[in-house]
């Protein structure tokens, strides 16, 4: 799937829909940590991961941009550090000039006003005025993988971002997961409309029946019941 098709298909979905699709498909749900949010509310991104491990110098970003394809997303691993910013307005401007779709930073950014004015989606753990405080030895895999929270990602992954945060999925599973996410979205939208029309969610999913079945079969889970009635509120 090319980056334009990825963006088009994700355009009517949320990361929550895709995360639920991962659960249903048995794919690990690789969310960025809860603090990893958009600099500008409402920002969305979808693109192939272009990893970069930061050790104090901007050259690793420039090298990543040299190798990037249009629509890629720079995923910066700064070890989740909260004492320095590793991305500022120049790095974001250069990303836009290179045709990237956005940045995800496992660390902090700075130049917040300028970054917002540039308009390219940037997700980070927050901001601090201080720039890089040290220059370390660059690892051999600096441009092949990046760590974000507990996950290691690479160009074999795509990253999706919206107001709920970021989610990484295998590129070779993206098409199927987005299709499944669409069915989950449609089911949830129908359920929401029925609630607004006066039919409670408990009625829709036969909750009284579930309680009766559970009395007979205590091991029965609500998720198993939902699957039997076509519900989608937990996955």
Distance, in Å, from the CA atom of 87 to the CA atom of 108, rounded to the nearest integer, reads 7
Q: Could you please report the per-residue DSSP string of 74-140?
A: EEEE-TT-SS-EEE-HHHHHHHHHTT--EEEEESEE--HHHHHHH---EEES-B-S-------PPPT
Distance, in Å, from the CA atom of 141 to the CA atom of 10, rounded to the nearest integer, reads 30
How many of the other CB atoms lie within 10 Å of CB of 189? 10
Decide: 109 and 76 in contact? Cβ < 8 Å.
no
90 is an annotated ligand-binding site residue: yes
- Residue 67 host element (H or E): helix 59-67
Q: At which residue do the structure tokens 């409309």 appear? A: 193
* Residue length of the chain: 235
Distance, in Å, from the CA atom of 84 to the CA atom of 76, rounded to the nearest integer, reads 13
162 is an annotated ligand-binding site residue: no
110 is an annotated ligand-binding site residue: yes
Distance, in Å, from the CA atom of 99 to the CA atom of 146, rounded to the nearest integer, reads 20
How many of the other CB atoms lie within 10 Å of CB of 203? 12
> Binding site for substrate: what residues are annotated?
88-91, 110
> Binding site for Mg(2+): what residues are annotated?
111
> Binding site: what residues are annotated?
88-91, 110-111
């Amino acid at each position: 799937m090319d980056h334009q098709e990825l963006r088009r298909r994700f355009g009517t979905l949320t990361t929550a829909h895709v995360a639920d699709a991962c659960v249903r498909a048995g794919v690990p749900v690789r969310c960025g940590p809860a603090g990893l949010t958009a600099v500008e509310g409402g920002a969305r991104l979808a693109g192939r991961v272009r990893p970069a491990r930061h050790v104090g110098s901007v050259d690793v970003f420039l090298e990543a941009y040299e190798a990037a394809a249009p629509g890629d997303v720079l995923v910066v691993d700064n070890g989740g550090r909260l004492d320095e910013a590793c991305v500022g307005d120049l790095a974001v401007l250069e990303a836009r000039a290179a045709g990237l779709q956005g940045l995800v930073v496992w660390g902090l950014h700075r130049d917040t006003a300028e970054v917002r004015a540039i308009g390219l989606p940037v997700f980070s753990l927050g901001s601090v005025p201080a720039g890089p405080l040290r220059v370390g030895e660059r690892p051999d895999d600096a441009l092949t993988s990046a760590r974000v929270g507990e996950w290691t990602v690479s160009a074999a992954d795509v990253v999706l971002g919206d107001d709920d945060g970021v989610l990484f999925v295998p590129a070779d599973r993206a098409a199927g997961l987005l299709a499944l996410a669409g069915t989950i979205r449609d089911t949830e939208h129908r359920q929401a409309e029925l609630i607004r029309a006066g039919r409670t969610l408990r009625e829709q999913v036969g909750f009284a029946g579930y309680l009766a079945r559970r009395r007979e079969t205590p091991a029965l889970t609500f998720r198993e019941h939902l699957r039997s009635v076509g519900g989608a509120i937990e996955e």
